Amino acid sequence: MDFSLSEERKMLQETIARFFESHYDKIDKHHFNANLPDGFDNKIWQESADLGIISALISPDFGGLGGTGEDISLVFELIGKSLCVEPFLSTGVLSSTALSSIKKPKTKILSEIIDGSFLVSFAHSEMNSRYEECHVETKAVSSPKGWIIDGNKSFVLNGDTSKKVIVSARISGEINDKNGIGIFLIDKDNIKTRSYNTIDGYRAAELEFKNSSGELIAKDEEALKCIIKTNAAGALALSAEALGIMQICFDTTLEYLKTRKQFGKSVGSFQAIQHRLVDMMLEIEQVKSSVMLASATFEADEKTREKHVSAAKNLVGRAGKIIAEETIQMHGGIAMTWEYSIAHYAKRLIMIDHLMGDADHHRDRFRMLSSI
């Protein structure tokens, strides 16, 4: 057994860490970039492409240099530490996974994603679909002019700046049927878009499709498999991101409690506080292990992959709440302020549980996948 990273990955890790540290050295950068018209800084995105960070998220089969579970986790743990807002999740993981997990992968678009010139968003969630994989109300009908899509998609990450959008739509069946879902590629021009920032500062949009024409890229079983794989990649990326955030939360809290003095002593010297720091540490070790397992088995059979991803995301949801709340509580008033960075890490950590399935959702999935 060997749980350490290969030399090659270690080097990649250092390069990427340095990149994010230079662009996100202060929490103000997070706010500034989140409030740019695009919701992120295009220059940083382009530079990250040149440095090979996007390519690290995509398999060599499609022109990338990575794309395994371990690669995704390595990059996203560092993303978590930086709170960077560039579209690594939306385009880099979700869309690139969707476009490569179909029978005829979209290699040309994937190469444009890798070089940083093309943004695609993945639009599966709907206002009332919660985290369900098969819940699709948006409709697709075939016409002499091709497929026509009607309906609404919600919480589409970076849905305002992408040039194309990958949309799940129902060709047949009831709202929750496993069969009858199609995946379409739709040009973003002429799609009514309402964009906003999420409470943790990431860009998302509501999209309204009216008589929109789209290209069918997968349907039925193939489509469902693609959605499941895409969600798994997203959940893994977010779990690793959460792990990075948790480490920042722990380190910052410990550092603060060493220096913060009340009653003539450092607050960290009180045993009641020390025990809680140990509890935080325990949670983080658990999360770290589950993220490692999910990363290492991401290329295994579907059932193993799904089980381990759900285990990680469930643990992240549960531990994330504890770590975020304890980080704020143990800091005291200062963590309630906008100015202090830790509040924003805590917010992101909590909101990660609202993306790609919360702890309850993944617990239910795990239960189903692990039943004999």
Ligand X SMILES: Cc1cc2nc3c(=O)[nH]c(=O)nc-3n(C[C@H](O)[C@H](O)[C@H](O)COP(=O)(O)OP(=O)(O)OC[C@H]3O[C@@H](n4cnc5c(N)ncnc54)[C@H](O)[C@@H]3O)c2cc1C
Nearby residues of 76 by Cβ (< 8 Å), 6 or more positions away: 88, 89, 93, 236, 237, 238, 239, 240, 241, 244
Q: Answer yes or no: are the C-beta atoms of 306 and 232 closer than 8 Å.
A: yes
Residue 197 interacts with other proteins (CB under 8 A): yes or no = yes
* CA distance linking residue 332 with residue 329, whole number of Å: 5
Which residue number, 47 or 132, has a Cβ lying nearer to other proteins?
132
Which of 216, 273, 281, 293: binder of other proteins (CB under 8 A)?
273
Which amino acid belongs to residue 113? I
Residue 130 Cβ vs other proteins, minimum distance, rounded to whole Å: 5
Which residue number, 16 or 204, has a Cβ lying nearer to other proteins?
204
Taking the alpha carbons at both ends of the chain, their separation in whole angstroms is 28
Residue 337 interacts with other proteins (CB under 8 A): yes or no = yes
Which of 1, 259, 272, 371: binder of other proteins (CB under 8 A)?
272
Residue 278 interacts with ligand X (CB under 6 A): yes or no = no
Residue 179 interacts with other proteins (CB under 8 A): yes or no = no
| Most distant CA atoms of the chain, gap in Å | 80
Q: Answer yes or no: are the C-beta atoms of 15 and 178 closer than 8 Å.
A: no
Residue 144 interacts with other proteins (CB under 8 A): yes or no = no
Residue 360 Cβ vs other proteins, minimum distance, rounded to whole Å: 6
Residue 248 Cβ vs ligand X, minimum distance, rounded to whole Å: 18
Residue 332 Cβ vs other proteins, minimum distance, rounded to whole Å: 6
* CA distance linking residue 210 with residue 202, whole number of Å: 26
Residue 261 interacts with other proteins (CB under 8 A): yes or no = yes
Which residue number, 5 or 336, has a Cβ lying nearer to ligand X?
336
Residue 1 interacts with ligand X (CB under 6 A): yes or no = no
CA within 13 Å, CB half, 10: 5
Which of 22, 176, 269, 370: binder of other proteins (CB under 8 A)?
176
Please provide the DSSP assignment of 65-133 as one string.
S--SHHHHHHHHHHHHHHT--STIIIIIIIIHHHHHSSSS--HHHHHHHHTT---EEEE---TT-TT-S
Q: Measuring CA to CA, how many Å separate 361 from each of 47, 250, 298, 312, 319? A: 36, 26, 19, 12, 15
* CA distance linking residue 249 with residue 327, whole number of Å: 6
Which residue number, 343 or 350, has a Cβ lying nearer to ligand X?
343
Which residue number, 51 or 273, has a Cβ lying nearer to ligand X?
273
Total residues at interface with ligand X (CB under 6 A): 12
What 268-274 contacts at long range (C-beta under 8 Å, 24+ apart), as own/partner pairs, is 273/330
Which residue number, 175 or 278, has a Cβ lying nearer to ligand X?
278
Q: Answer yes or no: are the C-beta atoms of 39 and 202 closer than 8 Å.
A: yes
Nearby residues of 291 by Cβ (< 8 Å), 6 or more positions away: 73, 77, 236, 239, 240, 243, 312, 316
- Pull the structure tokens for residue 158: 């970076």
Which of 263, 271, 301, 372: binder of other proteins (CB under 8 A)?
263
Region near ligand X per CB under 6 A, out of 125-133, 213-221, 234-242, 261-269:
261-269
Question: Which residues within the stretch 305-364 sit at the binding site for ligand X (CB under 6 A)?
Answer: 329-330, 332-333, 336
Residue 122 interacts with other proteins (CB under 8 A): yes or no = no
Question: Which residues within the stretch 126-185 sit at the binding site for ligand X (CB under 6 A)?
Answer: none
Q: What residue ranges bind other proteins (CB under 8 A)?
A: 125, 127-128, 130-132, 154-155, 175-176, 194, 196-199, 204, 206, 261-264, 272-273, 321, 325, 328-329, 332-333, 335-339, 343-344, 346-347, 350-351, 354-355, 358, 360
Q: What residue ranges bind ligand X (CB under 6 A)?
A: 260, 262-263, 267, 270, 272-273, 329-330, 332-333, 336
